[in-house]
């Protein structure tokens, strides 16, 4: 089920990025259809979210917020 959602999100994301001119149409098509690239991007997104969570935890500890 996660793969289905990842594919849908990548398709919409690639369309938005191509429309805004951030990526080329060729790369957008590859982003929308390449299953191997989806796995790499999902892993990268997971790593980014982990870093953000750790940063937020350290910030909360520094300012004495609830953790």
3-state secondary structure 21-55: CCCCHHHHHHHHHCHHHHHHHHHHHHHHHHHHHHH
Looking at residue 20, what is its pLDDT? 93
Q: How confident is the model at residue 37 (pLDDT cuts 50, 70, 90)?
A: confident
Tokens of 48: 């980014």
Global confidence as pTM: 0.58
Looking at residue 1, what is its pLDDT? 57
């Amino acid at each position: 089920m996660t793969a289905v959602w990842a594919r849908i999100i990548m398709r919409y994301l690639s369309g938005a990025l191509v429309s805004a001119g951030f990526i080329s149409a060729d790369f957008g098509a590859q982003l929308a259809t390449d299953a191997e690239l989806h796995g790499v991007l999902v892993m990268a997104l997971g790593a980014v979210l982990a870093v953000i969570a750790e940063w937020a935890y350290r910030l909360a500890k520094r300012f004495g917020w609830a953790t």
